[in-house]
């Protein structure tokens, strides 16, 4: 069933509809957007993803999280502003500990999966201890592979492959999926 006056390119705000929290952890539309970028990180736990703050899924950080110009540049390339932040989660990872990191705010045209890959790529460089060689065999590694759809991607991240390689692996199967889904789309 089609929705009246809705177009695929619309943001939630443009619908004029009220937002209702879909979960206690996703209280705002910005948390939905953030989940698309940082949700994968939650499977691995290399940093806080803002859970236990007023900005769940839209903040990343740790007590010793350094400034990272490459992260800032690549996020901007994909339509996300990464601005320095200091926050203190009341629960979840680093509960009651001050974290340094970034707030992530989306622009009109953004690419959440590419931002997720960028974050993983940079976190692998900044926090290599969070990506041990044995990761793929662990419970978290298996869940991460399931969430991102590829054990090949897990191996590439663990092995410190460049961002372009992560993106190449991440694109596998996308064209076939886009073609198969066409007959099910209700909107252009």
Q: How would residue 78 be classed by pLDDT, with cut points 50, 70 and 90?
A: very high
Residue located via tokens 């007590």: 63
Question: What confidence score (pLDDT) does residue 48 get?
Answer: 97
Both tokens assigned to 1: 């069933």
In 45-93, the DSSP E strands lie at 59-62, 80-87
Q: Specify the pTM.
A: 0.92
Q: List domains and CATH numbers for the chain.
A: 12-184 (3.90.1150.140)
Mean pLDDT calculated for residue range 153-165:
96
pLDDT at 169: 96
Q: What does residue 49 show for φ and ψ, rounded to 5 degrees?
A: -115, 30
Closest by CA position to 66, among listed 81, 84, 50, 46: 84
Per residue in 101-155, pLDDT tens?
Answer: 999 999 989 999 999 999 999 999 999 999 999 998 888 889 889 988 889 999 9
- The whole-number pLDDT of residue 51 equals 97
Q: Per-residue pLDDT for 44 more than 90? A: no
For residue 186, the model assigns a pLDDT of 87
Type and span of the H or E element at 119? helix 112-126
Q: At residue 13, does pLDDT exceed 80?
A: yes
pLDDT of residue 161: 97
Range scoring the smallest mean pLDDT among 71-80, 91-100, 140-149, 159-168: 140-149
Q: What is the DSSP string of 153-167?
A: HHHHHHTT--HHHHH
For residue 150, what pLDDT is reported? 87
pLDDT in tens, 20-42: 998 999 999 999 999 999 998 98
* pLDDT confidence of residue 18: 94
Q: Is the pLDDT of residue 172 over 90?
A: yes
pLDDT of 91: 95
């Amino acid at each position: 069933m089609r929705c009246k006056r809705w177009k695929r390119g619309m943001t939630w705000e443009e619908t004029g509809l009220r937002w209702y929290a879909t979960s206690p952890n996703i209280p705002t539309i910005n948390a939905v957007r953030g989940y698309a970028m940082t949700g994968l990180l939650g499977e691995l736990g290399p940093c806080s993803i803002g859970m236990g703050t007023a900005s769940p899924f839209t903040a990343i950080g740790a007590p010793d999280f350094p400034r990272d110009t490459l992260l800032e540049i690549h996020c901007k390339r994909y339509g996300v502003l990464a601005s320095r932040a200091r926050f203190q989660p009341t629960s979840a990872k680093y509960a009651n500990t001050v974290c340094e990191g970034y707030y992530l705010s989306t622009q009109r045209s953004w690419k959440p999966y590419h931002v997720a890959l960028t974050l993983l790529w940079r976190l692998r460089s900044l926090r290599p201890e969070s990506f041990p060689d044995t990761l793929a065999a662990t419970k978290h590694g298996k869940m991460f592979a399931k969430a991102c759809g590829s054990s090949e991607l897990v191996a590439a991240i663990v092995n410190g492959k460049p961002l372009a390689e992560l993106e190449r692996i991440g694109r596998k199967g996308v064209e076939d999926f886009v073609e198969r889904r066409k007959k099910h789309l209700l909107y252009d």
